[in-house]
């Protein structure tokens, strides 16, 4: 491990990529400290404090941008949302589906559509946030001037983050948007461990010492489990028959495999489910206080400490895991490609039997992955409600944040290991190799 770390900086190209990535992340954190104009920051904390854990989750994904109401308040989430929408649209819109099959030119066109959609989402979300700030008296300048100025600043901030992510992807060590999200989450980790020390581990702390020790053990266990699930895959063997390619070149028979990942949908189901769980919280504030029965029913699904909330959240995560996996994984297309290239799965007939076999395999491993994601999603709420632990601490013992950080770290290690192996250096692992998520 230490030898691999020293080799990283002995390769000029890799060293320059790492330094460039660190500089861009530094620029991101520096830009994240610029306040949006015309906002009373002190009143922002009071306004969002009513949302409780929901606001803490939003603040974590923006690297503290929305809590301090900086120009990076929206973070890169509009770009993530736009990417997801375009991916979903590509599975139902024939023109987008054709573009996705046209290689590099098609990918550039889809990226262009994603940028346009990102700007539209920024304008919509910025407008909603600006109206909310004005209705709570947070703006320090007149609303007709504040709203357009606020929208422009937030849109510019997200567009700048999107550009930074593209630069890191092209000139850095890759996965620029993912690294920006992970950097924003990691910036809150020292604060979380400080709260854990102050509340549970320090001498004379008000919390329980065994609970603090349990949190540390749970953190290690959750990280280990996430690594195992992200790296977990089932390899389906594929046999390629001997064939004649273009130009009369003969391709000999050989054996390969299809890696079916245990967590095919990554963190997308948790993001979708978390977005929908905002609806019960919004409804609970709109229902009149006099409607006691309806209020009690809605609170069952709007408060993270309630069983109804946890069950609904877990069910949505499982549903979106199946839904997103079904969109990304097309067994019929894979079976057709096998047939065209003279490939087959040993013991399985080509055509529909192959697609049925792949679909059954994907369904089984997706079930395990969906259950794991559901557990990870509800762990912070369970820790907060049952062990009386601060949500900032509990969010790093499970949930979307730690899942993203671990996944990005594994991807980054894979990128660096590829550079090391290309220059004939040993990678991070002497036995086996890191497997990417993509």
Q: What is the pLDDT of residues 46-80, one digit of tens each?
A: 777 665 566 666 777 777 777 778 888 888 888 88
Last residue of a domain, one of 153, 187, 221: 187
**Which alpha helices (H) appear in 11-76, and where do they start and end?**
12-31, 41-48, 53-61
Shared domain check, 214 and 135: no
Asked whether residue 416 is assigned to any structural domain, the reply reads: no
Could you give the C-alpha distances from 326 to 319, 323, 361, in angstroms and in order? 11, 5, 12
CATH number, domain of 9, equals: 1.10.3370.10
Report which DSSP code applies to 433: -
Residue 5 pLDDT: 67
Measured on CA atoms in the order 187, 392, 44, 308, is the torsion positive or negative? positive
Shared domain check, 238 and 181: no
Do 375 and 248 contact (CB within 8 A), yes or no?
Answer: no
- Between CA 3 and CA 364 the distance in angstroms is 40
Shared domain check, 219 and 286: yes
Weakly modelled stretches of the chain, pLDDT under 50: 435-438
Q: How large is the angle between the packed helices 400-422 and 268-276, nearest 10 degrees?
A: 160
Residue 436 pLDDT: 46
Asked whether residue 227 is assigned to any structural domain, the reply reads: yes
Helix H or strand E segment including 256: strand 254-261
Last residue of a domain, one of 165, 187, 209: 187
Asked whether residue 57 is assigned to any structural domain, the reply reads: yes
Residue at token pair 């079930």: 367
Residue 73 pLDDT: 86
Shared domain check, 319 and 197: yes
Asked whether residue 375 is assigned to any structural domain, the reply reads: yes
Give the HSE-up count for residue 381: Cα atoms under 13 Å, Cβ half-sphere: 25
Residue 438 pLDDT: 37
The number of domains in the chain is 2
Select from 139, 77, 76, 68 the least CA-distant residue to 278. 77
Shared domain check, 175 and 80: yes
Residue 101 pLDDT: 76
Shared domain check, 375 and 226: yes
Shared domain check, 137 and 222: no
Report which DSSP code applies to 242: P
Give the chain's radius of gyration (CA, Å): 24
Q: Which positions ≥6 away from 249 have C-beta within 8 Å?
A: none
Last residue of a domain, one of 187, 220, 242: 187
Domain span at 296: 189-398
Shared domain check, 59 and 93: yes
| Phi (first) and psi of residue 434, to 5 degrees | -65, 140
Asked whether residue 412 is assigned to any structural domain, the reply reads: no
Shared domain check, 228 and 137: no
Asked whether residue 128 is assigned to any structural domain, the reply reads: yes
Shared domain check, 204 and 87: no
Give the end-to-end CA distance of the chain in Å, rounded to a whole number. 24
Asked whether residue 321 is assigned to any structural domain, the reply reads: yes
Q: 220 exposed, middle or buried (CB, 10 Å; 0-12, 13-18, 19+)?
A: exposed
- Between CA 381 and CA 303 the distance in angstroms is 10
pTM for the whole structure: 0.79
Asked whether residue 7 is assigned to any structural domain, the reply reads: yes
Count of residues in the chain: 438
Shared domain check, 230 and 167: no
Q: Which positions ≥6 away from 350 have C-beta within 8 Å?
A: 335, 338, 339, 344
Shared domain check, 322 and 390: yes
Residue 424 pLDDT: 62
């Amino acid at each position: 491990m230490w030898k691999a770390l020293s080799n990283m900086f002995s390769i000029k190209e890799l060293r320059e990529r790492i330094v460039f990535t660190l500089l861009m992340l530094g620029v991101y954190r520096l830009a994240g400290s610029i306040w949006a104009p015309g906002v009373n920051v002190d009143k922002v904390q009071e306004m969002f404090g009513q949302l409780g854990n929901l606001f803490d989750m939003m603040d974590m994904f923006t690297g503290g941008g929305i809590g301090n109401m900086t120009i990076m308040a929206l973070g890169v989430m509009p770009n993530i949302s736009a990417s997801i929408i375009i991916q979903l649209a590509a599975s139902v819109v024939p023109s987008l589906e054709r573009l996705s099959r046209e290689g590099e030119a098609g990918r550039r066109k889809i990226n262009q559509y994603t940028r346009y959609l990102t700007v539209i989402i920024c304008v919509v979300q910025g407008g909603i946030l600006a109206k909310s700030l004005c209705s709570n008296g947070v703006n320090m300048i007149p609303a007709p001037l504040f709203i357009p100025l606020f929208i422009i600043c937030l849109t510019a901030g997200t567009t700048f983050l999107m550009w930074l992510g593209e630069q890191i992807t092209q000139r850095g060590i890759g996965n620029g948007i993912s690294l920006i999200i992970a950097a924003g989450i990691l910036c809150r980790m020292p604060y979380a461990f400080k709260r854990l020390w102050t509340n549970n581990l320090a001498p004379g702390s008000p919390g329980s010492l065994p609970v603090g020790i349990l949190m540390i053990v749970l953190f290690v266990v959750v990280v280990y489990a996430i690594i195992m699930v992200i790296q977990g895959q089932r390899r389906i063997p594929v046999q390629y028959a001997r064939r004649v390619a273009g130009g009369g070149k003969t391709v000999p028979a050989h054996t390969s495999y299809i890696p079916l990942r245990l967590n095919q949908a990554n963190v997308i189901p948790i993001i979708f489910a978390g977005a929908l769980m905002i609806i019960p919280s919004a409804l609970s504030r709109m229902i009149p206080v006099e409607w006691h029965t309806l209020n009690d029913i809605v609170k069952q699904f709007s408060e993270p400490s309630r069983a109804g909330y946890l069950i609904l959240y877990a069910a949505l995560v499982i549903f979106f895991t199946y839904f997103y996996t079904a969109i990304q994984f097309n067994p019929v297309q894979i079976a057709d490609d096998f047939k065209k290239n003279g490939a087959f799965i040993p013991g399985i007939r080509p055509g529909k039997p192959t697609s049925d076999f792949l679909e059954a395999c994907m369904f089984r491993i997706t079930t395990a992955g969906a259950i794991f994601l559901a557990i990870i999603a509800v762990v912070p709420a369970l820790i907060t409600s049952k062990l009386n632990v601060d949500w900032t601490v509990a969010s790093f013992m499970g949930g979307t944040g730690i899942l993203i950080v671990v996944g990005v770290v594994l991807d980054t290690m894979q990128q660096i290991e590829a550079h090391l192996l290309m220059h004939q250096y040993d990678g991070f692992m002497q036995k086996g190799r890191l497997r990417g998520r993509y």
